[in-house]
Structure 1
Amino acid sequence: MIDENKVAHTPELVLTDYLVSTLEKIFDPVPVPIILLDKDCKVKMINRVFANYLEFPKEEIIGKEVREVDKNSRFPYVFKTKKAEIAWKHKFENGHTGIVHRIPVLDEQGEVVYGFGMVLFEDLEEFKDIINKNKLLESELHLYKKQLQKIQGAKYSWETIVGQSEKMVQAKYMSRRAAQTNSNVLLLGKSGTGKELFAHAIHNGSLRKHAPFVKVNCAAIPAELLESELFGYEEGAFTGAKKGGKVGKFQLANGGSIFLDEIGDMPLKMQAKLLRVLQEQEIEKVGSNNTIKVDVRVISATNQDLLELAKQGEFREDLYYRLNVMTIGIPTLNEREGDIEVLTEKLIKKVSKEIGKYVDKISPKAMEYLRAHNWPGNVRELENVLERAINLVEGDTIMPVHLPVYITKKEITDTAYNGNIRSLKSIIEETEKEAIVRTLEYTKGNKLQTAKILNISRSSLYDKIEKYCIE
């Protein structure tokens, strides 16, 4: 086992040609792929088995910057963060997928002097074989439940939910109280406000946190398949049914929580069956006459007005009152005064880590634009905007130029009416330029498609691009 702390605090080691030669003699016969980088991310030493794995002659690799050999390498990011990545899944440029270590070696001042890397498993099949031989002695059902919990289990906690605005504090307080009960919870909020995060946190904050957390999007499953998804089916229940039948989501969530997202889109027929499950705490598989007792807490969410749907006959009123025991309203981003800054900081760190690009700052002007925007897509829209910006950044700071035009356009509108009345022509030209820029951005620079969308000829588009100096 590699001691990450011991490696990270090793004093700087001067790698002379003699020492590098000695290391090569030691590591070349070793059948595990190993690589050593200098502080500039250039390859100092690599053993033969790693060179062969990367499909490069060893002599050509030495001295090259690591991303010249593997453009997907995360070593530059590891050098920036100074944090080791242990047993990470990595897809190499040549198509191989392996499990790897990336470890920065720091000097006494905490600066990176070298990077050490090794491939633990050269392909995922090898990894799976070792697991199957040494670890997986459990039953198939137990393994399936563990995998389901890993894939669909609750990932988020109260610490994940960022914000100190009055409405957000109130929503978190109500959610914490709801978590301590076994009552059903109804989360109300616009799309992108973070209803799923609250559902995860409520489960993780409850006495059921060690039991399964199962998610179901009621709007994403066709009406004719929803019953079998929720309650399962017996073998031979219908044409195409799996041999042995299928376990439903409610049975998988037994002892834990089930999150029914977009509950307002559930068909009326299924609403009646769900109501019975909530009343009797039992399910009946498709094709079976036997009932199965279940102990499941239901957390549901919607961006619709269920009471209004009930008045229109599109949602059962009795089901609404069954679900509406603990109702929690999730505020929109516009209602969360003062939360933009802290959310932006958190999301920049999250997205940077996910895409392996070291960006940790945002300019005051760019932040000003974010504060001024009305965010109809809420937190999800903010995260998408920041991900786009981080992909465009060259250094480590998000600037206004990296933000979408629809967010920065406010300045154009404001300057048109800042007390200096401008000519109609200049306002029209500015609007025309903005429309072209936004459409080019939408089509990813495809000028033919842009011209079609704007309903102008391609030659006219080129003239306007030149006129307005659009890059």
Structure 2
Amino acid sequence: MSNKAKGKKLDEIVIDNMLISMMEKIFDPIPVPIILIGKNTEVIMINQIFADFLGYPKEQIIGKKVLDVDRNSRFPYVFKNKKAEIAWKHKFENGHTAIVHRIPVLDENGEVLYGFGMVLFQDVEEFKDIIQKNKLLESELSLYKTQLKEIQGAKYSWENIVGESEKILQAKYLAAKAAQTNSNVLLLGKSGTGKELFAHAIHNASNRSHYPFVKVNCAAIPQELLESELFGYEEGAFTGAKKGGKVGKFELANGGSIFLDEIGDMPFKMQAKLLRVLQEKEVERIGSNSPKSIDVRVIAATNQNLEELVAKGQFREDLYYRLNVMSIYIPSLQERKEDIEILAYKLLEKLSNGMGKYVKKISPKTLEYLRGHNWPGNVRELENVLERAINLTDSDTILPVHLPMYITQRTVTKGEGPLRPLKEIIEETEIEVIKRVLERTKGNKQKTAKILNISRSSLYDKIERYGLE
């Protein structure tokens, strides 16, 4: 290196040190914990109040990897994802739970230069006190509005319904058409196929999207409570009735949509009352003699065959035809296996972000097993299998060894793949173990070979064979 280059490098170091020294002078008096992380996740600067909060002298923190200071830190994930985490609840290694910011600072090429961290509230109780002082929970009315918003919001849109198979595209096409009308919609399909996703998307794509979206699971509410849940009651209507009465779900959904899930489980007596609401477009609370007009679009869903229930006398025929204006069948995962790969990767992204693990790949053999399974639990089962796999893997790739045995070691039946060869199982296990030890030794092959009790040449052969460089 030339003297000029050396001088330039030295100048940069001096400037960096001056900048850090200046930042310490600025941030140390501030009574808010602040930390600056380098691009390799080393601690560059921390103010005194943060060092005291962590329980270490500053000189013991500076230069250390952030995970060595707090093993629960999510800064490595923030650097990997390049997305800020604002007002996150975080439990530090010392037991404190706080509300924090984690912000990656990027250069003009989008690469991470630094990470900036700040503790907004040093414990959750402090956060709650601030909320109360600002009167965010001032009255029952504000709490009621918050709860109402939670039950009214339709969270999903067409983008959340993943797949390119003909059957799922046909279902989306029909649903999009239904969204442009005010007609009732009946969603049919097995459990776990995504009927609720379709209900959300239909509401969000309709002219009712700015009005409430209210969900009711007809199978989850006891029969004796279902009428009061759906239609509400007046004060004093029965023993134990709340003072002031209660607004029913249909009134809450006025102007918007109500999603009646598991409609096939609705008691026969209630079916007659629901039919009247659909015909007359009005509801009457229990204990009231004055009906109220409502404007609600009903989106119903069931995994049962309603025509069979009608034939058995278990579901009203007139109600069935009233609901079955726009009937949409949601295909099972077994009927659209060509969507499994794209679905798996979409779910993997969602789960990885939620769990804070950098799992981004699925090996070709793993995908083969996923496509070979029948998926009786549909998309919900696939999501559970992937969540389990993410918990098991120590790398960024899901391998067959991370799948449940009922998927990888199924018996040979018509239409399914063969049992796994022993050689394949051994190779996958070798790959996973070598990866794990290399990560632990930070790529030191001599230490890795010693831990695995194999020669270095044998380790190099396996690394080259499995493409683990």
Q: TM-score, normalised by structure 1?
A: 0.79
1:194 is aligned to 194
Question: Does the CA contact (< 8 Å) of 1:145 and 1:252 recur in 2?
Answer: no
The aligned counterpart of 1:388 is 388
Q: Distance in 2 between matches of 1:82 and 1:114?
A: 11
Deviates more, 1:139-148 or 1:98-107: 139-148
1:311 counterpart = 2:326? no
Tell me, in whole angstroms, the C-alpha distance in 2 between the residues paired with 1:243 and 1:393: 54
Q: Deviations over 1:135-160 (max 9, x none)?
A: 85998557634542245410100111
Q: Distance in 2 between matches of 1:54 and 1:403?
A: 39
Matches within 5 A, 1:52-451: 52-54=52-54, 58=58, 60-93=60-93, 96-124=96-124, 126-127=126-127, 141=141, 144-145=144-145, 147-410=147-410, 413=412
Q: Aligned to 2:328, what secondary structure does the other structure show?
A: strand
Q: Cα 1:329–1:365, aligned 2, differ >3 Å: closer, same or farther? A: same
Structure-2 change in CA distance of 1:324 and 1:91 (3 Å): farther
Q: Distance in 1 between matches of 2:36 and 2:213?
A: 42
CA distance in 2, matches of 1:319, 1:66: 62
Aligned partners of 1:76 and 1:349: how far apart in 2?
A: 17
Structure 1 residue matching 2:359: 3-state secondary structure: coil
Query: Unaligned regions of 5+ residues in structure 1, if any?
Result: 1-11, 420-426, 434-471
1:221/1:32 Cα in 2 relative to 1: closer, same or farther (>3 Å)? same
Structure 1 residue 333 displacement after superposition: 0.6
Q: Deviations over 1:205-237 (max 9, x none)?
A: 000001110111111111111111111222232
Report Cα offsets for 1:379-427 as digits up to 9, x if no partner: 11111111111111212111111111111114x748xx999xxxxxxx9
State the match for 1:466 in structure 2. none
Q: Identity rate of aligned residues, in percent?
A: 75
The total of aligned residue pairs comes to 408
Deviation for aligned residue 1:311:
1.6
Moved more, 200-209 or 81-90: 81-90
Structure-1 separation of matches of 2:298 and 2:227: 16
Confirm or deny: 8 A CA contact 2:137 2:143 kept in the other structure.
no
Please give the alpha-carbon distance, in whole angstroms, between the structure 2 residues aligned to 1:146 and 1:389.
Answer: 36
Matched residue SS, 1:336: helix
Measured in 2, the distance between the counterparts of 1:314 and 1:237 equals 29
**For 1:260 and 1:15, how far apart are their aligned partners in 2?**
65
Per the alignment, in what secondary structure is the counterpart of residue 159 of structure 2?
helix
Q: Which runs of 5+ in 2 are unaligned?
A: 1-11, 426-469
Distance 1:300 1:93, change over 3 A: farther
Give the direction of change, closer, same or farther, for the CA distance of 1:49–1:413 in structure 2 (3 Å limit).
Answer: same
After superposition, the C-alpha distances for 1:225-276 in whole angstroms (9 at most, x for unaligned) are 1111111222232333222222211111111001111111111122121111
Q: Which range moved further: 331-340 or 102-111?
A: 102-111
Q: Offset at 1:295? A: 1.1
- 1:455 counterpart residue number: none
User: Which residue does 1:441 correspond to in 2?
Assistant: none
Find the residue that maps to 1:338 and give its secondary structure: helix
2:34 is the counterpart of 1:34: yes
Q: TM-score when scaled to structure 2?
A: 0.79
1:277 CA displacement: 1.1
Query: How far did residue 120 of structure 1 move?
Result: 2.8
Tell me how far apart the structure 2 counterparts of residues 228 and 50 of structure 1 sit (CA, whole Å): 53
Is the Cα–Cα contact under 8 Å of residues 282 and 293 in structure 2 kept in the other structure? Answer: yes
Tell me which residue corresponds to 1:23: 23
